[in-house]
Amino acid sequence: MNINDFDFELPDELIAQFPPQIRGSSRLLIATLEKTLQDTNFQTLPEYLHAGDVLVINDTKVIKARLFGQKTTGGKVEILIERIIDAHTAQAHIKASKAPKTGTKLQLEQNIFAECIGRDEDLFLLKFDNQENLYELLEDYGHLPLPPYITRDADDKDDARYQTIYSKEQGAVAAPTAGLHFTDEILQQLQNKGVIIAPLTLHVGAGTFQPVRVENIQEHIMDKERYFIPQSSVSKIETAKNNGNRICAVGTTSLRALESASLSGRLCAGNNETDIFITPGFEFKIVDCLLTNFHLPRSTLLMLVSAFAGFDYIREIYQHAIQEKYRFFSYGDAMLLYRNK
């Protein structure tokens, strides 16, 4: 398929620049298998899940991955940590007038010092001289990396609102945004109904915001992301499948982890990496329904939902969402999709 098949016009005013005033008060679009669209609100989500269904959540936690400074030779730099390798080493994206060479030393804010010790395509390998563990250093001095389409700096409110209420495992540079809608009350309602919660961890990378730059989408190469699925979650999913219940993934990150871990034919627990690229024609093995936000034009996530719900149906859903003025992207509204049979 061609990249232009996944383009659409989106009015700027529909790009959410702030979260809703109250967490959980977003709108929810239900896209039924019968091809009818129902406009509701997120608090009604428990009505659409049944006892025995499994809700799979991504418990990754966004790190304050952005740092600013300069080369010791001058020249401003902006660093976005992509992956922490160990206590003092990380892979990072670097914005600078000239890309730093191996051996270049960087002096960042708050007297943080780093050296570029290597490069792998777009990613730079940085060694930090500070005594603090990198996670601690970023928590103390880093800045929350809001998505590029949010045209403002992060503030103190974002520190809480750009995390899910169940975030636990540090390592993401972007939030698994479908999870941002959940409150303790909504999760409790689901559990009271008999819905089973199954966590996994996929650390979302900056590549999630990268547009596809090739005309033939099959030529696009995905960045690798780390994930972990505990055996307890695998057991819950297998039991539900055997009982004829549904697996509902919260977000494309949960879906990608589950489908990656089942490429062998059965769902496997443990740590792994994925660069799975889901496009129309993909055969889903695990996920029956998907809770997700509205995605960027020409993005891999738009291709994923087109594969899941059906290419033509997604076009209809997005046209409806624009017409009804749903809020788009990370801080926007949500939709519930069912797998196209």
- Whether residue 26 contacts residue 181, with contact meaning beta carbons closer than 8 Å, is answered with yes
Residue 144 Cα distances to 64, 138, 139, 155, angstroms: 4, 9, 9, 8
Residues of the chain with CATH 3.40.1780.10: 3-62+163-338
Domain 66-141 indexed as CATH 2.40.10.240: yes
Residue keyed to tokens 């016009």:
9
Q: Which candidate, 91, 84, 128, places its Cα nearest to that of 107?
A: 128
CATH of domain 3-62+163-338: 3.40.1780.10
Dihedral sign, CA of 87, 93, 95, 96?
A: positive
In the chain, residues under CATH classification 2.40.10.240 are: 66-141
Three-state DSSP class for residue 30 = strand
pTM above 0.85, yes or no: yes
Torsion sign over Cα 7, 8, 9, 11: negative
Q: Helix, strand or coil for residue 136?
A: helix
Residue partners of 205: CB distance under 8 A and separation at least 6 = 82, 83, 172, 173, 174, 223, 224, 225
> Do 190 and 45 contact (CB within 8 A), yes or no?
yes
Q: Tell me the pLDDT of the chain (341 aa) as tens digits.
A: 899 999 999 999 999 999 999 999 999 999 999 999 999 999 999 999 999 999 999 999 999 999 999 988 888 999 999 999 999 999 999 999 999 999 999 999 998 999 999 998 889 999 999 888 999 999 999 999 999 999 999 999 999 999 999 999 999 999 999 999 999 999 999 999 999 999 999 999 988 877 788 999 999 999 999 999 999 999 999 999 999 999 999 999 999 999 999 999 999 999 999 999 999 999 999 999 999 999 999 999 999 999 999 999 999 999 999 999 999 999 999 999 999 98
| Residue spans of alpha helices (H) in 261-310 | 300-309
